[in-house]
Amino acid sequence: MQNKSTLLNIVLAIVIVVLVIQITQRGGGDSYHQPSDSFSQDTPATELQNTTVNTSRSVNLKKSVGVKGYIMPKPALVIGSYSKDGKPDIMTAAWTGIASSDPLSIAVSIRESRQTYENILATGCFTVNVPSEKFVVETDYVGNISGRDEDKFQKLGLTPVKGDYVNAPYIGEFPVVIECQVTDTIHLGSHVQFIGKVIDTKVDADLLYDNDEVNVEKLKPLILGEGFYYGYGKRLAKPFDIYKTLVEGKEPSYKPDLLANETLATIFSRKSVRHYTSEKVSNDQLTLMVKAGMAAPTAVDKRPWAFVAINNRAVLDQLAESLPYAKMLKQATAAIVVCGDLSKTAEGYRKAYWIQDCSAATENILLATESIGLGAVWTGVHPDQEKEIEVQKILNLPDDKIPLNVIAIGYPTGEDQPKDKWDENNLHWNQW
């Protein structure tokens, strides 16, 4: 009996030893699957072994919050479809994503209660429309109102364009549109997931690089975080590239400036913008610009300034006609006139400080416009007395309000670019 159990123990020990040897030879047994398609990398394992990640990390205390879909960000897309009697409809969908590379397919999960669900069942097609930030209101609207109750295209002044390849409408005004043909329908529970094979993708031509890749900074796609819509943040790094920072002998092709300063970026990208689209600048934006102006430094805290915000076409045109160097006001959809208020200036020689104060306010306005994607140009008025009188007349300004300049504002067409004005000769250290 004892002999039998000793034998069993020996056999068991041998089995364990063999297993341990096998596992060790396989490198720990954990199979991390390197991607096998174009995403896979060409780094030999020996190279990887030579470097260690030199960062201090800590495992943070976690709290379980139950079943949540905390994947951030989510896309905020608009799905286009025709009803069985040909009525175009659009709805917002966040439960979406690329589902396969070949064939390129997009998954969209839609509740059966939506008009869009009925439409896709009837036609077997849909379009995916990618909104840019400026369509945030429209995107939210079509996610709250059903096509059963309203023609959302008509209400929002958007154009339904029949797909070139599928029986579904796309939104003419949206920058990226993708035509899809349903290949699979999966009933998941609350939602039905339609898998749409991508038949064609169209992008606003001015948003494409020469190689047909999308300029994301220019497109400014809208995304969904938890509870809020967001825009894209700043560019951080290039995928399949930045990991090279941790691989000996490799350099990433795009080196992120992780300490990039947004204020400096705005200062260096500011340019005089003289070409604008027809898109309107809102009153809120103009108020914000003037607030930025009033945040400028001012001598003896006198704040000797007054601002006239203009969004009336007739007034903009009148100014354009009277000021030879402000012809761009014909195209601009707004303007701000920065005036010195002589009733508020300091006394004596300090009186003239209104010009510095208003100039600082003007630069603040120019930088603020640049920072929110608007374009502006400073056109001078003071000290040309003839021009001052013209502007005073057009704007009905009291005599002691002296227009320093007219800042034309609008959405830039992209034609105007910043200039590099850095000239080392103009910098003197300590003495001339």
| Cβ nearer to ligand FMN, comparing 190 with 430 | 190
Residue 93 touching ligand FMN (CB under 6 A): yes
SS3 content of the chain, % helix, strand, coil (to 5): 35, 25, 40
Which of 414, 423, 134 minimizes the C-alpha distance to 271? Answer: 414
CB of 116 to ligand FMN, least distance (A): 3
| Cβ nearer to ligand FMN, comparing 74 with 275 | 74
Q: Assess contact for 358 and 340: CB atoms under 8 A.
A: yes
**Interacting residues of 279 by C-beta distance below 8 A, sequence separation 6+:** 134, 333, 410, 411
Return the DSSP state at 219: H
Question: Binding string, 100-139, against ligand FMN, x = CB under 6 A?
Answer: ---------xxx--xxx-----------------------
Rg from Cα positions in the chain: 31
Residue 395 touching ligand FMN (CB under 6 A): no
Nearest-5° Cα angle at 72, 77 to 198: 35
CB of 119 to ligand FMN, least distance (A): 7
The gap from C-alpha 383 to its chain's centroid, in whole angstroms, comes to: 40
| Cβ nearer to ligand FMN, comparing 112 with 164 | 112
The gap from C-alpha 348 to its chain's centroid, in whole angstroms, comes to: 49
| Cβ nearer to ligand FMN, comparing 91 with 273 | 91
| Cβ nearer to ligand FMN, comparing 82 with 354 | 82
CB of 73 to ligand FMN, least distance (A): 11
Select the span of 31-39, 92-100, 328-336, 417-425 touching ligand FMN (CB under 6 A). 92-100
CB of 77 to ligand FMN, least distance (A): 8
State the chain's maximal CA–CA distance in angstroms: 120
Residues 29-88 that bind ligand FMN (CB under 6 A): 76
Among 147, 163, 221, 412, which residue sits at the site for ligand FMN (rule: CB under 6 A)?
A: 147
Return the DSSP state at 132: B
Strand order in the sheet with 222-224: 74-75, 222-224, 229-231
Nearest residue (beta carbon) to ligand FMN: 143
Which of 374, 304, 373 minimizes the C-alpha distance to 334? Answer: 374
The gap from C-alpha 217 to its chain's centroid, in whole angstroms, comes to: 6
CB of 173 to ligand FMN, least distance (A): 18
Which of 390, 300, 285, 294 minimizes the C-alpha distance to 346? Answer: 300
| Cβ nearer to ligand FMN, comparing 226 with 317 | 226
| Cβ nearer to ligand FMN, comparing 185 with 277 | 185
Contact residues toward ligand FMN (CB under 6 A) are 76, 89, 91-95, 109-111, 114-116, 140, 143-148, 224
